[in-house]
Structure 1
Amino acid sequence: MTSLRPASTATLVLVTEDAPIAPPAVAVSPSVPPPVPEGAVRFATFNTALSRGRPGGMARALASAGWGRARVIAEIVQRVRPDVLLVNEFDHDPTGRALRSFARGYLARGWNGAEGVDYPYAYAAPVNTGVASGVDLNGDGRVVREPGSVAYAEDALGFGRFPGQYGMAVFSRYPLGVARARTFRSLRWAEMPGALLPVDPVTGGPFFSPEARAVARLSSKSHWDLPVDPGWGRPVHLLASHPTPPAFDGPERRNVLRNHDEVRFWVDYLTPGADGYIRDDAGVRGGLEPGAPFVVAGDLNADPGEGASSSKAITRLLEHSRVVDPLPHSQGGRGRVGSAVGAVGHGEVCAEDTRRGHLRVDYVLPSRGSSVGARGVFWPALDDPLVRLTGAGRPFPGSDHRLVWVDVAP
């Protein structure tokens, strides 16, 4: 195995060693999708909830094949078999050890009759979570500089008890254009025109001090534009992010507002004329060129009809002229309430929901002009034998989110 470290400080891992492969999976469940058609690519996003509470904790847990939660996550991936997989809540490890361990020891090793999936390419880049800001960002009148506490996490550039907690990673069967990847981790929130910066509800003035405003960043983790080369003659841009949950704040609603603007970033990135303020971490300005194929993916923590988030940004993204919303759905959601595909404002579990709490927050959104095929949310019904992988309630055997997948062809 070879680890390459580009100047962007991202980590690209190439898996070159053979891994043990289990016998082919048996389709024992309606939750298992059909094979990917020739010429198509199955994109998926999965908030795995693998992050741990201490630095290096996730990497140590993944070092052996004995972590039950990671086995469940890996089996879900093996049942769906995506070609390109974005993973949220995967602690950033600049050494690449966690990427290698998960790819080699879990994803490539079959579980419970499922066939292992070989991902020769994996990518991760630094995130803002747990990075000390040096200023008071939560408005409690003090600056916490020692990692580990909630108070420290709330003053960090993105909520995290240590640098890299709740990070992101990409696993791919196709080459990744790391040299052409763009990351937007350092973009300041105040640089977005019309940014919904929080207001002190008592004074009516800015919630952030001038010092806090000068360092507060838009991305709670990061926004990535990562080219994927599936052999179509041009790359597909994986637009990956994981905005902050619209919760755990005060009456100023700073996380609700930040979530809105983190989602809005992709709207501006895809809109010529609205992208003038955007500057990536290498200093290159502008959004995605017109006509370039893309897939927006991630746990966006925003439901268009329910929950605490502001629905305006996610609705604008779903209805964007360059975006297709394929409305992935699940047997589990449909079976529980018998809801119709496309229902919103439902107040109960529906076929498009992707996590507990009856919310649709995880998305795979291809570009208009792509050929969209099969799609789904891996959420087995209660009478499905694979419901053991998602559970019927707490405690969850793996994650409280569901894997979302969409087949895309040129």
Structure 2
Amino acid sequence: MGIRALAGAALIAALGTYAQADPLRIATYSPDLSRDGPGLLLRDLGRTGKKADPQIAAVVRVIAETRPDILLLTDFDWDYEGRALAAFTALLAEAGLDYPHRFAARPNAGMATDLDLNADGRQNTADDAQGFGEFPGQGGMAILSRHPIGPVTEYTDALWRDLPSHLMPPLPEDVTAARRLSSAAHWDATITVANRPLHLLAMAATPPVFDGAEDLNGRRNHDELAFWLNRLPDQAFVLAGNLNIDAQDSEGRPEALTRLMAHVTDPMPRSAGGAAAKGGVNDGQKGDPALDTGDWPDDKPPGNLRVDYVLPQKGLKVLDSGVFWPADGPLAQTALAASAHRLVWLDLEWP
């Protein structure tokens, strides 16, 4: 083979290697970065040296190991000036992760209504907020990205009663007129990657438990997912977040998730740690444990469940996917120390 042919072959090989080694990684993670009062997360993020918060350090390590290009965080306390998110982004930068673009907005979690939403005779409790929360912004959401974010369409103020074919149970008129659908938020965030728009449909749904015979939370969880059935964009999208429903093993109404699956590709992300988590209630579950993303006590329901999802629009090419849950070793301990949830990631081919 001549010199020119050798050079051409080397170039083709290099280009092939580059194309395979540079996918777009999108992840969702519920890192339990929520605290019991306003300002406490910022306090914990600011602790350094021997006083550094070990749980926060574990969260940073998990993200550093997976290195997503676009990361949706759920259960992350929001504050008016975005100081906690800025401090967290700075910690990630110290770990070698640069996220120049970020977005967060006030969630419904902890937003007071001055109504007795749960009909217990009291007002302004955590159950009376638009989404469960002791203070404004508790358990909010945030997006970190290597690529520009915007515009972002927020649907957080949409009323539950306005959803077509909603399942909201009968409620007093003043509650019906004020109750929002989102327990945290619904965002359609346009992220521009290589001059092409990608819509990140971000959400965190209420768990379909902790209610009574009226099944208010089960109905709300269903409708929070069903919301997107009328809002799927014509351009490329990825639906991501803590959907808080496992179609195989959790309580709740999985019909909306089933309908959404007709519009997306389920990459079935797996982990060795989930597959190895056996014993107790987990042994009686129907779903594949390798797909689980939540690690709860094995001796009582619900056990481990698949509740966190990254679901790309049908037609987008999935290169790889996974759940960060090593079966053993130091990183397994890191994942355990960080959160009951596991980070879920997806690699897309994005020319």
Question: TM-score scaled by structure 2?
Answer: 0.87
2:179 aligned with 1:216: yes
Q: How many residues align?
A: 318
Counterparts of 1:348 and 1:358, CA distance in 2: 10
Asked if 1 retains the 8 angstrom alpha-carbon contact of 2:248 and 2:287, the reply is no
Please give the residue correspondences for 1:131-280 in structure 2 after superposition, counting only pairs within 5 Å: 131-140=111-120, 142-145=121-124, 152-177=125-150, 180-198=151-169, 206=170, 208-231=171-194, 233-270=195-232
2:38 aligned with 1:55: yes
| CA deviation string 1:206-256 (max 9, x = no partner) | 2x100000001100111000111111x321001000011111111111111
Please give the residue correspondences for 1:337-376 in structure 2 after superposition, counting only pairs within 5 Å: 346-347=285-286, 350-356=289-295, 357-376=303-322
AA of the residue aligned to 1:377: V
AA of the residue aligned to 1:193: P
How far residue 38 of structure 1 moved from its aligned partner, in angstroms, is: 4.6
AA of the residue aligned to 1:363: Y
| CA deviation string 1:127-165 (max 9, x = no partner) | 11111112221122x2413xxxxxx11111110011100
Asked if 1 retains the 8 angstrom alpha-carbon contact of 2:109 and 2:140, the reply is yes
* Alignment correspondent of 1:408: 348
Counterparts of 1:406 and 1:85, CA distance in 2: 11
Counterparts of 2:276 and 2:258, CA distance in 1: 26
* Alignment correspondent of 2:89: 103
Please give the residue correspondences for 1:42-121 in structure 2 after superposition, counting only pairs within 5 Å: 42-65=25-48, 66-104=52-90, 106-110=91-95, 116-121=96-101
Counterparts of 2:19 and 2:218, CA distance in 1: 37
AA of the residue aligned to 2:129: A
Q: Identity of counterpart residues, as a percentage?
A: 43
**Would you identify which runs of 4 or more consecutive aligned residues in structure 1 move more than 6 Å?**
none
Asked if 1 retains the 8 angstrom alpha-carbon contact of 2:249 and 2:287, the reply is no
How far residue 385 of structure 1 moved from its aligned partner, in angstroms, is: 3.5
How far residue 46 of structure 1 moved from its aligned partner, in angstroms, is: 0.3
AA of the residue aligned to 2:320: A
* 2:249 match: secondary structure: coil
* 2:94 match: secondary structure: coil
| CA deviation string 1:362-405 (max 9, x = no partner) | 000011121111110001113x34111123xxxxx110000000
Asked if 2 retains the 8 angstrom alpha-carbon contact of 1:36 and 1:407, the reply is no
* Alignment correspondent of 2:281: none
Asked if 2 retains the 8 angstrom alpha-carbon contact of 1:185 and 1:223, the reply is yes
AA of the residue aligned to 1:117: L
Asked if 2 retains the 8 angstrom alpha-carbon contact of 1:336 and 1:349, the reply is no
AA of the residue aligned to 2:231: Y
Counterparts of 1:139 and 1:37, CA distance in 2: 56
How far residue 348 of structure 1 moved from its aligned partner, in angstroms, is: 6.7
How far residue 308 of structure 1 moved from its aligned partner, in angstroms, is: 1.1
Asked if 2 retains the 8 angstrom alpha-carbon contact of 1:347 and 1:358, the reply is no
* Alignment correspondent of 1:124: 104
Asked if 2 retains the 8 angstrom alpha-carbon contact of 1:63 and 1:98, the reply is no
AA of the residue aligned to 2:100: P
Q: Which of 237, 259, 275 is matched with 1:316 structurally?
A: 259
Decide whether aligned partners of structure 1 residues 132 and 370 sit closer, same or farther in structure 2, where only a CA change above 3 A counts: same
| CA deviation string 1:57-96 (max 9, x = no partner) | 1112112341211110010000011000000111111212
* 1:215 match: secondary structure: coil
Counterparts of 2:206 and 2:105, CA distance in 1: 17
Question: TM-score scaled by structure 1?
Answer: 0.75
> How large is the Cα RMSD of the aligned pairs?
1.7
Gap runs ≥5 in structure 1: 1-34, 111-115, 146-151, 199-205, 271-287, 338-344, 392-396
Counterparts of 1:185 and 1:119, CA distance in 2: 24
AA of the residue aligned to 1:157: Q
Q: Which of 359, 368, 387 is matched with 2:332 structurally?
A: 387
- Deviates further, 210-219 or 38-47: 38-47
| CA deviation string 1:316-347 (max 9, x = no partner) | 112x2x3111111101123446xxxxxxx944
AA of the residue aligned to 2:103: Y
AA of the residue aligned to 1:239: L
